[in-house]
Homo-oligomer: A and B are copies of this chain.
């Protein structure tokens, strides 16, 4: 028998989708100060929505940056309490000229909804909301106790929520968390993520001359900060993808033989992945590791941008006074952000070329984390997913970082069920981000059944 809440969700799909679109139209880009008001507007609309569907105590919790959204429903006596987490902030949309439809004008094409934040994470947040609405609208009650905590700083490091969670407030006393910010391993394949890489996001700033100089007059005598940065970066990672920071790999806990065997049985072809997802001439990375190992269980180092100097069209013959590299490292179990940053900072200081001053700044960080699959909530999740998707769940890891999962474990003592509905080609953080509409619909149903299972 179909759950009445599932039937309700199916009947109201069209208006649910409209509500998602309304949220996507708010450019809640957390990293850009000029969108601060948009972030608050998104948060306020969610508090209103939580109240409307019947949640109690819906309110904003201010942080130093963008507010948290909290609500609860605690009338399921004797039942466990779930902490439902998602984030309402999004990445910047640039480069704008590569979007086929405007990033903040959600557009349906070929069964997908295109918009910045469609899959990361507004689509998944709204799936959670609509699951709660469907349950409350049909039963007048929820099958478990629920606390909702939506965040607006996930894309900028989540300092506000981290500080709030670390303070262990009574509002967050729960038995487990539902985190919807991950993806299916393949279309139609129900997936739970049980491991996340951590990361440190940093900036290396190099200063040479006091002011910008003419490269004709001073070229050959004045230090060039970009060349210095290039020399530093080339010594951070070799052409095989190996990070050259001494001690960086020490203490890494490799995946078990059993986990590696499970990964090998996943429907994954490296050449198809190269062609369909990456689209590069060839893949890169450490020799001797599969792509899944390299992206899930090995640290890596990337450069995201190098602001400074002249970046317009044409030519400007300037030796810039300073240049910066935005550099992040992904960390894996056995590593800590504190140790990785210290090793990195010390090494960069040691390899800094002559003539320049080098400063290394930590922008934000999150610890790596692994979830045990031996808990009743993971079992409830796999039962629900089996029902909705008609298949057994696969356990995977993610190369991304969801620092809050580590914080929930450390400060609240609860495991997280990372149940997400993105797809590998959803263009997360890139132009033409999308959410597969079927996954939005089945995501709502999966969360409905999961909460019902958890309350049995």
Contacts and interface: CB of A to CB of B under 8 A. Distances in A.
Interface of A: 31-33, 91-92, 94-95, 98, 155-157, 197, 199, 201, 208-224, 226-227, 229-235, 237, 239, 241, 273, 277-286, 291, 294-295, 298-320, 323, 325-326, 328, 330, 353-357, 363-364, 398-401, 424, 427-432
Given A91-B316, A233-B234, A306-B309, 14 more contacts: A156-B314, A213-B278, A213-B429, A217-B428, A220-B299, A223-B281, A227-B237, A282-B354, A284-B355, A304-B320, A305-B316, A306-B308, A314-B363, A316-B326
Given A281-B356, A430-B213, A302 B219 contact: yes
A311 B303 contact: no
Contacts of A315: 31, 155-157, 201, 304, 326, 328, 363-364
A7 B209 CA distance: 42
B212 A430 contact: yes
Given A222-B284, A278-B209, A282-B355, A430 B214 contact: yes
Contacts of A308: 305-306
Contact of A215 (B214, B216, B304, B427): B304
30 contacts: A31-B312, A31-B313, A31-B316, A92-B312, A209-B280, A210-B279, A210-B280, A211-B427, A216-B399, A216-B400, A219-B301, A219-B302, A219-B328, A220-B300, A222-B283, A223-B282, A226-B233, A226-B306, A226-B325, A280-B355, A281-B356, A282-B354, A282-B355, A284-B355, A304-B310, A305-B310, A306-B309, A307-B312, A315-B364, A316-B326
Given A220-B298, A231-B234, A399-B220, A214 B429 contact: yes
Most buried by B among A230, A285, A286, A320: A230
Contacts of A313: 31-33
